[in-house]
Amino acid sequence: MLTLSTINGTPDAPAAIGPYSQAVVISNGLIYTSGSIPLDPATMKVVHPTDVELQTEQCLKNLSKVLVESGGSLASVIKVTIFIKDMEQFAKINAVYSTFFNDHKPARSCVEVARLPLDVLVEIEAVAAKL
């Protein structure tokens, strides 16, 4: 039987802004993260409201902290989903994304959406393996 544990209150990552966990870890070794948005963990404010590259960087930093707290890392990511407000920003997001994942290329989807929480430009979630 599978068991679930929730991750909340990750040091150096923003707290959830709604009634959800930062991540759920399943006893089979999979980690499912909630969407990471570009919040400064110290202030809980959106960083760089008009800069998709800096927002992407903050999302990935926050995501990395949650993954480490959950027993994984960016290197153990299996699947990423990126939600963006403007597909015209795809190349800029990819440029930042590639600096975090280097040669590791998890499966990925990128979806343009009408609106994201707190009117951010990008949100990133992941499924990873526990190390």
**Percent of residues, the chain, with pLDDT higher than 70:** 100
Does 59 participate in catalysis according to the annotation? no
The string of pLDDT tens digits covering residues 42-57 is: 999 999 999 999 999 9
Distances (CA, A) of 68 to 3, 63, 108: 19, 9, 20
Domains of the chain: 4-129 (3.30.1330.40)
Catalytic residue among 16, 110, 118, 129: 110
> In sequence order, what are the residues at sequence separation of 6 or more whose Cβ sits closer than 8 angstroms to the Cβ of residue 8?
15, 16, 21, 22
φ and ψ at residue 68, rounded to 5 degrees? -60, -45
Q: Per-residue confidence at 1, pLDDT binned at 50, 70, 90?
A: confident
Say yes or no to pLDDT of 11 above 90. Answer: no
